[in-house]
Homo-oligomer: A and B are copies of this chain.
Amino acid sequence: MKPINVGLLGIGTVGGGTYSVLKRNAEEITRRAGRPIQVSIVADRNLERVRQLTGGTCRATDDAYAVVADPDVDIIVELIGGCELARALVLRAIDHGKHVVTANKALLAKHGNEIFAAAQKKGVMVAFEGAVAGGIPIIKALREGLTANRIEWIAGIINGTTNFILSEMRDKGLPFATVLKEAQRLGYAEADPAFDVDGVDAAHKLSIMSAIAFGNSMSFDQAYIEGISQLDAADIRYAEQLGYRIKLLGITKRTADGVELRVHPTLIPAKRLIANVEGAMNAVLVKGDAVGATLYYGKGAGAEPTASAVIADLVDVTRMHTADPEHRVPHLAFQPDAMVDLAILPMADVVTSYYLRLRVDDRPGVLADVTRILADDGISIVAMMQREPGEGEEQTDIIMLTHKTRERNIDAAIGGIEALSAVKGKIIRLRLEELL
Protein backbone atom coordinates (compact mmCIF):
# COMPACT_ATOMS: atom_id res chain seq x y z
CA MET A 1 0.00 0.00 0.00
CA LYS A 2 0.96 3.64 -0.48
CA PRO A 3 3.15 4.85 2.39
CA ILE A 4 1.89 7.46 4.79
CA ASN A 5 4.07 10.58 4.73
CA VAL A 6 5.21 12.17 7.95
CA GLY A 7 6.53 15.71 8.30
CA LEU A 8 8.82 15.74 11.33
CA LEU A 9 9.26 19.04 13.17
CA GLY A 10 12.43 18.86 15.25
CA ILE A 11 15.03 16.10 15.11
CA GLY A 12 16.53 16.57 18.58
CA THR A 13 16.52 13.82 21.20
CA VAL A 14 12.95 12.55 20.74
CA GLY A 15 12.80 13.48 17.06
CA GLY A 16 16.04 11.61 16.41
CA GLY A 17 14.75 8.62 18.39
CA THR A 18 11.50 8.64 16.44
CA TYR A 19 13.33 8.75 13.14
CA SER A 20 15.64 5.90 14.05
CA VAL A 21 12.98 3.60 15.56
CA LEU A 22 10.73 4.16 12.53
CA LYS A 23 13.63 3.12 10.34
CA ARG A 24 14.92 0.21 12.44
CA ASN A 25 11.48 -1.35 12.97
CA ALA A 26 10.02 -0.38 9.61
CA GLU A 27 9.14 -3.94 8.65
CA GLU A 28 7.43 -4.73 11.97
CA ILE A 29 5.58 -1.40 12.04
CA THR A 30 4.35 -1.86 8.48
CA ARG A 31 3.10 -5.35 9.30
CA ARG A 32 1.01 -3.82 12.08
CA ALA A 33 -0.10 -0.57 10.44
CA GLY A 34 -0.92 -2.13 7.10
CA ARG A 35 1.21 0.37 5.20
CA PRO A 36 4.67 1.90 5.51
CA ILE A 37 5.08 5.01 7.63
CA GLN A 38 7.91 7.16 6.33
CA VAL A 39 9.40 10.49 7.28
CA SER A 40 9.34 12.41 4.02
CA ILE A 41 10.52 15.80 5.28
CA VAL A 42 12.26 17.07 8.41
CA ALA A 43 12.32 20.61 9.68
CA ASP A 44 15.12 21.56 12.06
CA ARG A 45 17.26 24.60 12.65
CA ASN A 46 20.32 22.39 12.35
CA LEU A 47 20.28 21.09 8.78
CA GLU A 48 23.63 19.41 9.20
CA ARG A 49 22.16 17.29 12.02
CA VAL A 50 19.24 16.31 9.80
CA ARG A 51 21.63 15.18 7.08
CA GLN A 52 23.74 13.20 9.54
CA LEU A 53 20.78 11.39 11.06
CA THR A 54 18.84 10.72 7.89
CA GLY A 55 21.78 10.14 5.60
CA GLY A 56 20.16 12.52 3.16
CA THR A 57 17.32 10.04 2.50
CA CYS A 58 14.57 12.58 3.13
CA ARG A 59 14.01 16.23 2.42
CA ALA A 60 15.30 18.74 4.97
CA THR A 61 14.37 22.33 5.64
CA ASP A 62 14.78 24.90 8.36
CA ASP A 63 11.32 26.25 7.61
CA ALA A 64 8.80 24.39 9.77
CA TYR A 65 5.93 26.45 8.33
CA ALA A 66 6.71 25.02 4.90
CA VAL A 67 6.36 21.48 6.30
CA VAL A 68 2.94 22.03 7.90
CA ALA A 69 1.73 23.41 4.56
CA ASP A 70 3.36 20.70 2.42
CA PRO A 71 0.65 19.00 0.34
CA ASP A 72 2.58 15.70 0.33
CA VAL A 73 2.56 15.42 4.13
CA ASP A 74 -0.25 13.41 5.77
CA ILE A 75 0.75 13.70 9.42
CA ILE A 76 2.78 16.32 11.28
CA VAL A 77 4.90 15.13 14.20
CA GLU A 78 5.68 18.09 16.44
CA LEU A 79 8.77 17.47 18.57
CA ILE A 80 10.32 20.92 18.78
CA GLY A 81 9.04 21.51 22.33
CA GLY A 82 8.36 24.90 23.85
CA CYS A 83 5.02 26.61 23.65
CA GLU A 84 4.66 29.56 21.36
CA LEU A 85 6.20 28.31 18.13
CA ALA A 86 4.79 24.84 18.70
CA ARG A 87 1.31 26.26 19.22
CA ALA A 88 1.49 28.30 16.05
CA LEU A 89 2.76 25.37 14.01
CA VAL A 90 0.23 22.88 15.34
CA LEU A 91 -2.68 25.27 14.72
CA ARG A 92 -1.37 25.98 11.24
CA ALA A 93 -1.02 22.23 10.54
CA ILE A 94 -4.60 21.65 11.69
CA ASP A 95 -5.72 24.51 9.51
CA HIS A 96 -4.07 22.78 6.56
CA GLY A 97 -6.06 19.63 7.41
CA LYS A 98 -3.07 17.68 8.73
CA HIS A 99 -3.29 15.22 11.55
CA VAL A 100 -0.86 16.00 14.36
CA VAL A 101 1.15 13.82 16.72
CA THR A 102 2.92 15.61 19.55
CA ALA A 103 4.77 14.76 22.74
CA ASN A 104 4.56 18.34 23.99
CA LYS A 105 2.90 18.31 27.42
CA ALA A 106 3.43 22.00 28.15
CA LEU A 107 1.73 22.86 24.87
CA LEU A 108 -1.31 20.69 25.58
CA ALA A 109 -1.61 21.59 29.25
CA LYS A 110 -1.64 25.28 28.36
CA HIS A 111 -3.25 25.38 24.92
CA GLY A 112 -4.96 22.00 24.71
CA ASN A 113 -8.50 23.38 24.82
CA GLU A 114 -7.79 25.65 21.87
CA ILE A 115 -5.93 22.98 19.92
CA PHE A 116 -8.52 20.23 20.41
CA ALA A 117 -11.33 22.60 19.49
CA ALA A 118 -9.55 23.54 16.27
CA ALA A 119 -8.85 19.88 15.46
CA GLN A 120 -12.46 18.95 16.14
CA LYS A 121 -13.70 21.70 13.84
CA LYS A 122 -11.35 20.65 11.07
CA GLY A 123 -11.99 16.92 11.53
CA VAL A 124 -8.36 16.00 12.14
CA MET A 125 -6.72 13.98 14.90
CA VAL A 126 -4.28 15.30 17.49
CA ALA A 127 -2.56 12.39 19.23
CA PHE A 128 -0.32 12.83 22.26
CA GLU A 129 0.61 9.52 23.92
CA GLY A 130 4.21 10.72 24.22
CA ALA A 131 3.18 13.77 26.24
CA VAL A 132 2.56 11.77 29.43
CA ALA A 133 4.88 9.20 31.01
CA GLY A 134 7.03 8.63 27.92
CA GLY A 135 6.63 5.15 26.51
CA ILE A 136 3.96 3.95 28.94
CA PRO A 137 0.69 3.77 26.97
CA ILE A 138 -1.22 5.53 29.74
CA ILE A 139 -3.24 7.84 27.49
CA LYS A 140 -4.52 4.83 25.60
CA ALA A 141 -5.30 3.00 28.83
CA LEU A 142 -7.28 5.95 30.18
CA ARG A 143 -9.00 6.86 26.92
CA GLU A 144 -9.79 3.39 25.66
CA GLY A 145 -8.79 0.67 28.11
CA LEU A 146 -10.87 1.93 31.02
CA THR A 147 -13.94 3.29 29.20
CA ALA A 148 -16.27 1.14 31.30
CA ASN A 149 -15.23 2.90 34.46
CA ARG A 150 -16.11 5.93 36.38
CA ILE A 151 -12.53 6.99 37.13
CA GLU A 152 -12.24 7.90 40.81
CA TRP A 153 -8.66 9.10 40.99
CA ILE A 154 -5.22 8.96 39.42
CA ALA A 155 -1.93 9.14 41.31
CA GLY A 156 1.25 9.17 39.30
CA ILE A 157 5.00 9.34 39.56
CA ILE A 158 5.26 11.24 36.31
CA ASN A 159 8.58 13.03 36.58
CA GLY A 160 11.68 10.86 36.42
CA THR A 161 14.10 13.54 37.62
CA THR A 162 12.36 14.07 40.93
CA ASN A 163 11.81 10.35 41.47
CA PHE A 164 15.49 9.75 40.87
CA ILE A 165 16.38 12.47 43.40
CA LEU A 166 13.95 11.15 46.02
CA SER A 167 15.20 7.58 45.53
CA GLU A 168 18.80 8.72 46.03
CA MET A 169 17.94 10.88 49.05
CA ARG A 170 16.31 7.90 50.72
CA ASP A 171 18.87 5.35 49.63
CA LYS A 172 21.93 7.35 50.64
CA GLY A 173 20.48 9.63 53.32
CA LEU A 174 21.78 12.68 51.46
CA PRO A 175 20.22 16.17 51.32
CA PHE A 176 18.36 17.45 48.27
CA ALA A 177 21.08 19.84 47.08
CA THR A 178 23.78 17.15 47.05
CA VAL A 179 21.65 14.66 45.17
CA LEU A 180 20.51 17.29 42.68
CA LYS A 181 24.14 17.99 41.78
CA GLU A 182 24.75 14.29 41.28
CA ALA A 183 21.61 14.01 39.14
CA GLN A 184 22.82 16.88 37.00
CA ARG A 185 26.22 15.23 36.59
CA LEU A 186 24.52 11.99 35.49
CA GLY A 187 22.20 13.75 33.07
CA TYR A 188 19.02 12.97 35.06
CA ALA A 189 18.46 16.66 35.79
CA GLU A 190 18.80 19.73 33.61
CA ALA A 191 21.27 22.53 34.33
CA ASP A 192 18.18 24.58 35.23
CA PRO A 193 16.21 21.98 37.16
CA ALA A 194 13.31 24.21 38.28
CA PHE A 195 10.83 22.88 35.73
CA ASP A 196 11.24 19.36 37.09
CA VAL A 197 11.98 19.84 40.79
CA ASP A 198 9.29 22.46 41.27
CA GLY A 199 6.64 20.06 39.97
CA VAL A 200 5.62 22.05 36.88
CA ASP A 201 6.41 19.26 34.43
CA ALA A 202 4.41 16.79 36.53
CA ALA A 203 1.50 19.24 36.68
CA HIS A 204 1.44 19.51 32.88
CA LYS A 205 1.12 15.75 32.55
CA LEU A 206 -1.38 15.51 35.40
CA SER A 207 -3.61 18.13 33.79
CA ILE A 208 -3.78 16.10 30.60
CA MET A 209 -4.65 12.88 32.45
CA SER A 210 -7.25 14.66 34.56
CA ALA A 211 -9.06 16.01 31.51
CA ILE A 212 -9.20 12.55 29.96
CA ALA A 213 -10.24 10.81 33.15
CA PHE A 214 -13.14 13.10 33.93
CA GLY A 215 -14.11 14.52 30.54
CA ASN A 216 -13.16 17.91 31.88
CA SER A 217 -11.52 20.78 30.05
CA MET A 218 -7.77 21.23 30.53
CA SER A 219 -7.24 23.11 33.81
CA PHE A 220 -3.48 23.41 34.27
CA ASP A 221 -3.71 27.01 35.42
CA GLN A 222 -5.72 25.89 38.44
CA ALA A 223 -3.39 23.07 39.50
CA TYR A 224 -1.79 23.20 42.93
CA ILE A 225 1.96 22.68 42.51
CA GLU A 226 4.56 22.04 45.17
CA GLY A 227 8.02 20.64 44.35
CA ILE A 228 10.64 18.73 46.30
CA SER A 229 13.36 21.32 46.82
CA GLN A 230 12.23 22.07 50.38
CA LEU A 231 12.06 18.41 51.35
CA ASP A 232 14.28 17.50 54.28
CA ALA A 233 16.08 14.15 54.34
CA ALA A 234 14.98 13.82 57.97
CA ASP A 235 11.35 13.55 56.91
CA ILE A 236 12.18 10.83 54.40
CA ARG A 237 13.79 8.93 57.29
CA TYR A 238 10.93 9.47 59.74
CA ALA A 239 8.41 8.49 57.08
CA GLU A 240 10.33 5.29 56.49
CA GLN A 241 10.29 4.46 60.20
CA LEU A 242 6.51 4.82 60.10
CA GLY A 243 6.25 2.52 57.07
CA TYR A 244 5.92 5.17 54.36
CA ARG A 245 7.86 6.41 51.35
CA ILE A 246 7.81 9.98 50.08
CA LYS A 247 7.15 10.39 46.35
CA LEU A 248 6.35 13.41 44.25
CA LEU A 249 2.84 12.47 43.16
CA GLY A 250 0.52 14.06 40.69
CA ILE A 251 -2.96 13.42 42.08
CA THR A 252 -6.30 14.11 40.48
CA LYS A 253 -9.50 12.99 42.11
CA ARG A 254 -13.19 13.42 41.54
CA THR A 255 -15.08 14.60 44.63
CA ALA A 256 -18.61 15.82 45.16
CA ASP A 257 -17.30 19.38 45.48
CA GLY A 258 -14.98 19.43 42.46
CA VAL A 259 -11.86 17.92 40.97
CA GLU A 260 -8.62 17.77 42.92
CA LEU A 261 -5.59 18.61 40.79
CA ARG A 262 -2.40 18.69 42.78
CA VAL A 263 1.29 17.89 42.65
CA HIS A 264 3.25 17.62 45.89
CA PRO A 265 5.53 15.35 47.90
CA THR A 266 3.32 12.64 49.37
CA LEU A 267 3.76 9.91 51.95
CA ILE A 268 2.48 6.57 50.66
CA PRO A 269 2.55 3.17 52.38
CA ALA A 270 5.86 1.46 51.60
CA LYS A 271 4.11 -1.79 50.73
CA ARG A 272 2.17 -0.28 47.81
CA LEU A 273 3.67 -1.28 44.47
CA ILE A 274 3.96 2.35 43.39
CA ALA A 275 6.00 3.17 46.49
CA ASN A 276 8.64 0.80 45.13
CA VAL A 277 9.07 2.59 41.82
CA GLU A 278 12.67 3.74 42.06
CA GLY A 279 15.11 5.84 40.07
CA ALA A 280 14.02 7.70 36.97
CA MET A 281 11.09 5.35 36.29
CA ASN A 282 7.47 6.51 35.99
CA ALA A 283 4.28 4.83 37.17
CA VAL A 284 0.64 5.80 37.10
CA LEU A 285 -1.97 4.29 39.39
CA VAL A 286 -5.57 4.64 38.21
CA LYS A 287 -8.61 3.81 40.34
CA GLY A 288 -11.75 2.93 38.41
CA ASP A 289 -15.02 1.92 40.01
CA ALA A 290 -15.27 -1.37 38.11
CA VAL A 291 -11.67 -2.40 37.55
CA GLY A 292 -10.28 -1.27 40.91
CA ALA A 293 -6.70 -0.01 40.91
CA THR A 294 -4.50 -0.63 37.87
CA LEU A 295 -0.90 0.46 37.54
CA TYR A 296 1.20 1.31 34.48
CA TYR A 297 4.97 1.42 34.79
CA GLY A 298 7.93 2.14 32.55
CA LYS A 299 10.43 4.70 31.34
CA GLY A 300 8.88 8.15 31.41
CA ALA A 301 11.41 9.90 29.24
CA GLY A 302 14.29 9.40 26.84
CA ALA A 303 14.65 9.25 23.09
CA GLU A 304 13.36 5.77 22.31
CA PRO A 305 10.73 5.35 25.05
CA THR A 306 9.11 8.59 23.95
CA ALA A 307 9.56 7.60 20.30
CA SER A 308 7.67 4.40 21.13
CA ALA A 309 4.65 6.48 22.14
CA VAL A 310 4.95 8.87 19.20
CA ILE A 311 5.04 5.98 16.74
CA ALA A 312 2.12 4.20 18.41
CA ASP A 313 0.17 7.39 17.74
CA LEU A 314 1.42 7.42 14.16
CA VAL A 315 0.13 3.87 13.65
CA ASP A 316 -3.26 4.78 15.16
CA VAL A 317 -3.54 7.87 13.00
CA THR A 318 -2.40 5.94 9.92
CA ARG A 319 -5.18 3.41 10.46
CA MET A 320 -7.84 6.04 10.98
CA HIS A 321 -6.75 8.91 8.80
CA THR A 322 -9.29 8.26 6.06
CA ALA A 323 -11.99 6.97 8.44
CA ASP A 324 -15.05 8.99 9.23
CA PRO A 325 -14.36 11.10 12.36
CA GLU A 326 -17.24 9.42 14.21
CA HIS A 327 -15.21 6.20 14.24
CA ARG A 328 -12.30 7.83 16.01
CA VAL A 329 -11.57 7.88 19.71
CA PRO A 330 -12.36 11.40 20.98
CA HIS A 331 -9.29 13.49 21.81
CA LEU A 332 -10.11 13.70 25.49
CA ALA A 333 -11.87 10.31 25.78
CA PHE A 334 -15.35 11.85 25.94
CA GLN A 335 -17.28 13.01 22.88
CA PRO A 336 -16.72 16.75 22.37
CA ASP A 337 -20.37 17.54 23.06
CA ALA A 338 -20.24 15.47 26.25
CA MET A 339 -17.36 17.30 27.94
CA VAL A 340 -18.16 19.03 31.20
CA ASP A 341 -16.75 21.95 33.11
CA LEU A 342 -16.02 20.60 36.55
CA ALA A 343 -14.62 23.08 39.06
CA ILE A 344 -11.10 22.50 40.33
CA LEU A 345 -11.16 22.27 44.10
CA PRO A 346 -9.12 24.95 45.92
CA MET A 347 -6.34 23.33 47.94
CA ALA A 348 -7.88 24.54 51.22
CA ASP A 349 -10.88 22.31 50.50
CA VAL A 350 -8.90 19.17 49.71
CA VAL A 351 -9.39 16.32 52.18
CA THR A 352 -6.39 14.13 52.91
CA SER A 353 -4.21 12.83 55.72
CA TYR A 354 -1.13 14.62 57.01
CA TYR A 355 2.33 14.05 58.36
CA LEU A 356 3.43 16.71 60.84
CA ARG A 357 6.87 17.24 62.32
CA LEU A 358 7.22 19.61 65.26
CA ARG A 359 10.33 20.75 67.09
CA VAL A 360 9.32 21.11 70.74
CA ASP A 361 10.78 21.71 74.18
CA ASP A 362 11.24 18.39 75.91
CA ARG A 363 9.01 19.07 78.91
CA PRO A 364 5.69 17.80 80.30
CA GLY A 365 2.42 19.17 78.98
CA VAL A 366 3.62 20.08 75.48
CA LEU A 367 2.02 17.08 73.85
CA ALA A 368 -1.24 17.73 75.72
CA ASP A 369 -1.34 21.29 74.39
CA VAL A 370 -0.62 20.17 70.85
CA THR A 371 -3.19 17.39 70.78
CA ARG A 372 -5.81 19.66 72.37
CA ILE A 373 -5.45 22.12 69.48
CA LEU A 374 -5.71 19.31 66.92
CA ALA A 375 -8.80 17.92 68.66
CA ASP A 376 -10.39 21.36 68.70
CA ASP A 377 -10.00 21.48 64.93
CA GLY A 378 -11.54 18.04 64.61
CA ILE A 379 -8.27 16.35 63.66
CA SER A 380 -7.47 12.93 65.07
CA ILE A 381 -4.09 11.27 65.27
CA VAL A 382 -3.37 7.87 63.70
CA ALA A 383 0.24 7.46 64.80
CA MET A 384 2.79 9.40 66.79
CA MET A 385 6.51 9.09 67.21
CA GLN A 386 8.78 11.07 69.47
CA ARG A 387 12.50 11.06 68.98
CA GLU A 388 14.46 10.43 72.18
CA PRO A 389 16.31 13.71 72.89
CA GLY A 390 20.09 13.42 72.76
CA GLU A 391 22.28 13.86 75.87
CA GLY A 392 21.83 17.42 77.14
CA GLU A 393 19.44 18.25 74.31
CA GLU A 394 16.49 20.30 75.44
CA GLN A 395 14.34 19.94 72.36
CA THR A 396 13.02 17.00 70.42
CA ASP A 397 11.02 16.11 67.32
CA ILE A 398 7.44 14.91 67.45
CA ILE A 399 6.07 13.25 64.32
CA MET A 400 2.36 12.72 63.89
CA LEU A 401 0.18 11.14 61.24
CA THR A 402 -3.41 12.35 61.13
CA HIS A 403 -6.68 10.92 59.93
CA LYS A 404 -8.26 12.58 56.94
CA THR A 405 -9.18 16.20 57.37
CA ARG A 406 -9.70 19.26 55.24
CA GLU A 407 -6.55 21.23 54.47
CA ARG A 408 -7.98 24.45 55.92
CA ASN A 409 -8.44 22.63 59.24
CA ILE A 410 -4.89 21.38 59.41
CA ASP A 411 -3.61 24.84 58.48
CA ALA A 412 -5.69 26.41 61.24
CA ALA A 413 -4.39 23.85 63.73
CA ILE A 414 -0.80 24.41 62.60
CA GLY A 415 -1.25 28.13 63.17
CA GLY A 416 -2.42 27.46 66.70
CA ILE A 417 0.35 24.99 67.46
CA GLU A 418 3.10 27.23 66.12
CA ALA A 419 1.88 29.93 68.52
CA LEU A 420 2.65 27.70 71.51
CA SER A 421 5.80 28.84 73.29
CA ALA A 422 7.08 25.27 73.58
CA VAL A 423 6.96 24.78 69.81
CA LYS A 424 10.05 25.98 67.96
CA GLY A 425 10.04 27.25 64.40
CA LYS A 426 7.76 26.17 61.57
CA ILE A 427 5.91 22.87 61.55
CA ILE A 428 6.74 20.58 58.64
CA ARG A 429 3.50 19.45 57.01
CA LEU A 430 3.38 16.79 54.30
CA ARG A 431 0.34 15.14 52.76
CA LEU A 432 -0.28 11.41 53.01
CA GLU A 433 -2.33 9.16 50.74
CA GLU A 434 -3.23 5.53 51.40
CA LEU A 435 -3.95 4.98 47.68
CA LEU A 436 -6.58 2.34 48.29
Given A276-B273, A295-B298, does the pair A33, B147 have CB atoms closer than 8 Å? yes
Question: Once bound together, how far apart are the Cα atoms of A139 and B291, in whole Å?
Answer: 15
Stretch in A197-205, A329-337, A382-390 touching the partner:
A329-337
Please tell me how many copies of the chain the complex holds: 2
Interface size on A, residues (CB 8 A): 67
A to B CB contacts below 8 Å, 8 in the list: A24-B289, A25-B150, A33-B147, A147-B311, A291-B299, A294-B297, A319-B327, A327-B327
**Interface status of A308 (Cβ within 8 A of chain B):** yes
Question: Once bound together, how far apart are the Cα atoms of A126 and B34, in whole Å?
Answer: 18
- A296 contacts B299, C-beta separation under 8 Å: no
Given A21-B148, A137-B141, A144-B312, does the pair A273, B297 have CB atoms closer than 8 Å? yes
- A335 contacts B31, C-beta separation under 8 Å: yes
- B305 contacts A292, C-beta separation under 8 Å: yes
Contacts of A276 in B (CB 8 A): 273, 276
**Interface status of A149 (Cβ within 8 A of chain B):** yes
**Interface status of A307 (Cβ within 8 A of chain B):** yes
- A312 contacts B32, C-beta separation under 8 Å: no
- A294 contacts B136, C-beta separation under 8 Å: yes
Given A298-B294, A299-B291, does the pair A146, B137 have CB atoms closer than 8 Å? yes
Closest B residue by C-beta to A277: B273
A249 to B: closest C-beta gap in Å? 17
**Interface status of A145 (Cβ within 8 A of chain B):** yes
Q: Which of B137, B144, B150, B294 contacts A28 (CB 8 A)?
A: B150
- B334 contacts A32, C-beta separation under 8 Å: yes
Among A307-333, those with CB < 8 Å from B are 307-312, 314-316, 319-320, 322-324, 326-330, 333
- A25 contacts B312, C-beta separation under 8 Å: no
**Interface status of A135 (Cβ within 8 A of chain B):** yes
Contacts of A309 in B (CB 8 A): 148, 291
Given A31-B334, A312-B148, does the pair A298, B293 have CB atoms closer than 8 Å? yes
**Interface status of A29 (Cβ within 8 A of chain B):** yes
Contacts of A294 in B (CB 8 A): 135-137, 296-299
Among A126-164, those with CB < 8 Å from B are 129, 134-137, 140-141, 144-150
Closest B residue by C-beta to A293: B298
**Interface status of A304 (Cβ within 8 A of chain B):** yes
**Interface status of A290 (Cβ within 8 A of chain B):** yes
Q: Which of B33, B291, B308, B334 contacts A290 (CB 8 A)?
A: B308
- A308 contacts B148, C-beta separation under 8 Å: yes
A133 to B: closest C-beta gap in Å? 10
**Interface status of A215 (Cβ within 8 A of chain B):** yes
- A299 contacts B292, C-beta separation under 8 Å: yes
Contacts of A312 in B (CB 8 A): 144-148
A325 to B: closest C-beta gap in Å? 10
**Interface status of A288 (Cβ within 8 A of chain B):** yes
**Interface status of A186 (Cβ within 8 A of chain B):** no
A214 to B: closest C-beta gap in Å? 10
Q: Which of B134, B147, B310, B324 contacts A29 (CB 8 A)?
A: B147
A243 to B: closest C-beta gap in Å? 15
Kindly list 18 other residue pairs between chains A and B, CB separation below 8 angstroms, not including A25-B290, A291-B298, A294-B298: A21-B290, A22-B148, A24-B289, A28-B149, A30-B338, A137-B145, A140-B140, A140-B144, A144-B144, A148-B310, A290-B307, A290-B308, A292-B298, A292-B299, A292-B305, A293-B298, A297-B297, A322-B327
Closest B residue by C-beta to A32: B147
A189 to B: closest C-beta gap in Å? 20
